Amino acid sequence: MSESVAIALGSNLGDSRGILEGAIEQLRSPLWELQQSHWYRTRAVGPPQPDYLNGCVIGKTALEPLELLQRLFDIEHQFGRVRRERWGARTLDLDLLLYGDRILNSPQLQVPHPRLRERPFVLVPLADIAPDWRDPLSGCSIKELQEALNCSDVTRLS
């Protein structure tokens, strides 16, 4: 059995575009039918740091949510991610945003991502590839969630 998933990607240290493109290649193993958004430059949230390069992918997976989460952590580690400071600068950030229409709330994983509905840097690229996907908590489409936010700080690059 397979499930559709949405994953956010972000980087603001090193060769961000190269790191993100490499991460997408690594995601081709646990995911198939992969679709990629455009890339966007966004201001960082948290302590002073460089702007982020952000994007999203959607695809299908046979992995269970916690297995997929572990695979995302493994890919982050492969690209030099070190978890030091919440919302700090990072070479790679991969967030599991949606796993079909499931709602999960455990100490290890919350799906939908708990801040999905308030993050333009996630909703804008996700709306590129999944505008009609419905957030299982609010019932709103990704496009509706995006339109409800001020997204002026999100600049499309490609």
Is the C-alpha dihedral spanning 70, 75, 78, 79 positive or negative?
negative
Out of 81, 119, 128, 135, the active site residue is 81
81 is catalytic: yes
How far from each other are the two terminal CA atoms of the chain, in whole angstroms? 34
71 is catalytic: no
135 is catalytic: no
* CB proximity list for 128: less than 8 A, separation 6 or greater: 37, 38, 56
93 is catalytic: yes
Out of 41, 43, 51, 95, the active site residue is 95
Out of 93, 117, 119, 128, the active site residue is 93
Out of 71, 90, 117, 119, the active site residue is 90
Give me the active site residues, please: 81, 90, 93, 95
